Amino acid sequence: MAEITASMVKELREKTDAPMMECKKALTEADGDMARAEELLRVKLGNKATKAAARVTAEGVVGIWLADDAKLGAIVEVNCETDFVAKNDDFLAFTRDVAALIGRNNPADVAALSALPLGGGSVEETRKALIGKIGENMSVRRFERVAAKGRLASYVHGGSKIGVLIDLVGGDEQLGRDLAMHIAASKPKALDASGVPAELLDAERRIAIEKARESGKPEAMLEKIAEGTVQKYLKEVTLLGQVFVKAEDGKQTIEQLLKARGASVASFTLYVVGEGIEKKQTDFAAEVAAQAAAAAAGR
């Protein structure tokens, strides 16, 4: 049996917002497996235990560059330590310049991007100089360059904390912007069911079966119930299955909207700043106490 530490319970609580004792019970039952413990909490508490996937836990901005003809574009996430620096003009200018370099040069990865010329030196040299000037670490986390099959549309939201780049075939400029705004608001995981990772579907299926079993449903019905749950989940997490946020009847899906407009989506990219990064939590009181103790010892 794995040892369940206070830090493990705290981590699970921060991820799910579930009560401490429920987190401890779930970790004990899962023998310390964090992912399995999250599943157990979802079985017991429902969707209240799904906070982790959407939580933003690092600072920075998303930058987007588009060619004049909207046939080529780039999206990049650049991270820093504080929200204050994320609003700094030099930091924002660096992000814009990097996005443009990606679009025009098509680097293979962050290392190749870092070697590209920028500001009298390389991207890496400019980054280090900016760190020295601002006094805070920063890094280029990820990027994507898109050559459109149709035309690209983009949208940034919340002080550039969320950025969307979408390749729309057919339709018009307004439809492209509406779809980009929808993606920023609804955060689909994939364009359609084929793009949803199998492990996510397997987890939804397991959770549905356990919940149905606990509620007393007959064993013979469990698979059918699970399949219905998975189909509902796919409608929630795929762009084509989602209900359009601006639908007047509150029912029209993105797939139906596109069909009505004679358009299709070739691809989209959604970046949420800090997604998947755990931000270091500082215990200010403990830090002050430690500094005071160190000062006293040095006297």
28-49 pLDDT tens trace: 999 999 888 888 887 777 655 4
pLDDT of res. 52 = 40
Mean pLDDT of the chain: 87
pLDDT of res. 215 = 85
pTM, to two decimals: 0.73
Q: Is the model more confident about 53 or about 256?
A: 256
**Backbone dihedral angles phi then psi of residue 273, each to the nearest 5 degrees:** -55, 130
Q: How far apart are CA 202 and CA 166, in angstroms?
A: 28
Residue 190, H or E segment: none
178-197 pLDDT tens trace: 999 999 999 999 999 999 98
User: Looking at the predicted structure, is the pLDDT value of residue 288 above 70?
Assistant: no
User: Looking at the predicted structure, is the pLDDT value of residue 287 above 50?
Assistant: no
pLDDT of res. 135 = 85
Residue 157, H or E segment: strand 151-157
- Provide mean pLDDT across the span 55-64: 76
Q: How far apart are CA 210 and CA 53, in angstroms?
A: 21
- Provide mean pLDDT across the span 90-102: 97
Max CA pair span of the chain:
77
Closest CA to 15 of 44, 37, 43, 32: 37
Residue 280 carries which DSSP code?
P
pLDDT of res. 86 = 93
